[in-house]
Amino acid sequence: MSVFPVTASTISAKDLGEFIKERYNLDKNFNCELFRTGINHTYFISDTKTKYVLRVYSYNWRAKSEITEEIKLLNFLKENNLSVSFPIPDTNGTFIHDINAPEGQRYAVLFSFAEGGKVRFMDDETCFTIGSLMAQFHNLTNNKSMDREVYDTKSMLELPFQHLKQYFSETLPEMVYLKEVNDTLKLADFESTQKGLVHLDIWYDNMAVLNEKEITFFDFDFCGNGSQVLDVGYFCKQLFYIETDKEIYERKKLHFIKGYSSVRTIPNHELKLIPEAGLAVFIYYLGIQAKRFDWSNIFLSENYLKMFTGRLKSWIEYNNEHAH
């Protein structure tokens, strides 16, 4: 009986472990365990004392040149003492490893392990520290560019809608709503903002918190070029979703903004763009879920779309009511 080709696979942790131990000259006591699958697959390589994170990029997700740019950015941030999970070269100085998977060429990169835990409900001090660390990142990368995606009207609003049209009728109320948002949310307002490099996914799931105020950012898989207030808006949007008590949300948001402002000035017109920035990034990620149907088909249902657009509406309505 012939073996069918595959479009996606999960690489054996045991064999990856042997591969990495050989490339990095690691002790035989190191074990490799699959941590989670997603757009990319994450493994932990560890012994009793040391731990690393191995990311195996999904097939046809990031070009080798894009991963090279991510590594260059992380090495630059590490050299400038920003607290990030950084890539680790093997004994030959190689960062990116070719993985000949059943579906085709994939890539693997070993990263340092970010000490600490993920904290969903952060205290005021932690929010302040996250803001200051984000501002440090923005200061270091202000006016810089990289050979990766540019986050603009086309990539964040127009393309996501095109991806969604493959799965949903444009006559669905939720699709009509998204089209209306796209027509009214013009990112031209962002032209006068501070630009440079963005992480685009800074929230509690992509940072480790140690002793409440030692923060390490990781997962720069969506890093690219754009208005840096996008990172600010996205963090606020995530905080808004996490904190159901909006008084607590406002207090934590204020501490986050104070932390950011303690390192870098955020002009008033950029503060006013936070609602639009958060909205744009969320629409972008909805498009990613459609684009990567092989990973996210559990999300792509009419019920999910209804729930997601409901969140967008509540964010818009809240900010319209509380516009300062």
- Please state whether beta strands 41-46 and 31-36 pair in parallel, antiparallel, or not at all (unpaired): antiparallel
- pLDDT tens sequence for the chain (324 residues): 788 999 999 999 999 999 999 999 999 999 999 999 999 999 999 999 999 999 999 999 999 999 999 999 999 999 999 999 999 999 999 999 999 999 999 999 999 999 988 888 899 999 999 999 999 999 999 999 999 999 999 999 999 999 999 999 999 999 999 999 998 887 777 889 999 999 999 999 999 998 877 999 999 999 999 999 999 999 999 999 999 999 999 999 999 999 999 999 999 999 999 999 999 999 999 999 999 998 888 889 999 999 999 999 999 999 999 875
Q: What is the CATH number of domain 124-321?
A: 3.90.1200.10
**pLDDT score, position 11:** 98
Angle between helices 124-141 and 229-242 (to 10 degrees): 160
Q: Can you give the pLDDT at residue 211?
A: 83
| Residues facing 53 on adjacent strands | 44, 111
Q: Quote the tokens at residue 161.
A: 């809608």
Q: Over the range 108-129, which residues count as b (16 or more CB within 10 Å of their CB) and which as e?
A: bbbbbbbeeeeeeebebebbbb
Helix (H) or strand (E) holding 17: helix 13-24
Every domain of the chain and the residues it spans: 13-112, 124-321
Chain centroid, CA 147 distance in Å: 17
What pLDDT does 324 receive?
59
Which pTM was predicted? 0.96
Q: Name the β-bridge partners of 197.
A: 225
Beta strands in 23-93 (DSSP E): 31-36, 41-46, 51-56
Provide Rg for the chain, Cα atoms: 20
pLDDT at position 53: 98
The CATH number given to 13-112 is 3.30.200.20
Judge whether 13-112 and 124-321 match in fold.
no
